[in-house]
Each structure stands twice: as C-alpha cells, then as structure tokens.
C-alpha cells in the first residue's frame, strides 16, 4: 500500500480541495517527478500556484481517462 503524503493532504485541506485517494497518489507522484524528491520534501519547494497546477493537471488527466470511450 502506498502511503499518501501528509503535507499534500494538509495543503489540499487548507485550500478546500476534495480529492479521491487515487488523485492524491497521482499528485504525490507528480510532485516527486517534478522535484526529484519524496513528496513531503518536494512540496516545500513548490509555490501555491505550482501546487494548484499539479492538482489541476492530475484531475484533467483522470477525467480524460474516464471520458474516453472503450474501443473494441
């Protein structure tokens, strides 16, 4: 089981953003990818605008996955 970042949850709660567990896991991974550090350390390097951009990109990517029809 993947442990979701405590600091990411705190930022989301402070900003009033509701997410699913899967979205939070994706946000953690994206922070790690962009910063090269574990998400709890990497989030300290981000501005609020950068964090919101990551959240938005993860949500758009997930909506796109759900919206695409299955081609058989």
Q: Which DSSP symbol is given to 23?
A: H
Q: What are phi and psi of 3, to 5 degrees?
A: -85, 125
Please state, in angstroms and as integers, the Cα–Cα distance from residue 22 to each residue in 18, 25, 71, following that order. 12, 5, 24
Task: Give the domain ranges of the chain.
Answer: 6-67
8-39 pLDDT, tens digit each? 999 999 999 999 999 999 999 999 999 999 99
Q: Can you point out the beta strands (E) in 1-72?
A: none
The whole-angstrom separation of Cα 52 and Cα 4 is: 17
Mean pLDDT, the chain, integer: 87
pLDDT over 80 (residue 65): no
């Amino acid at each position: 089981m993947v442990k979701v970042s405590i600091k990411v949850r705190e930022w989301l709660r402070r900003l009033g953003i509701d997410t699913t567990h899967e979205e939070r896991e994706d946000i953690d991974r994206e922070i790690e990818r962009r910063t090269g550090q574990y998400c709890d350390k990497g989030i300290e390097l981000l501005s609020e605008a950068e964090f919101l951009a990551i959240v938005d990109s993860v949500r758009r990517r997930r909506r796109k996955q759900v919206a695409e029809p299955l081609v058989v």
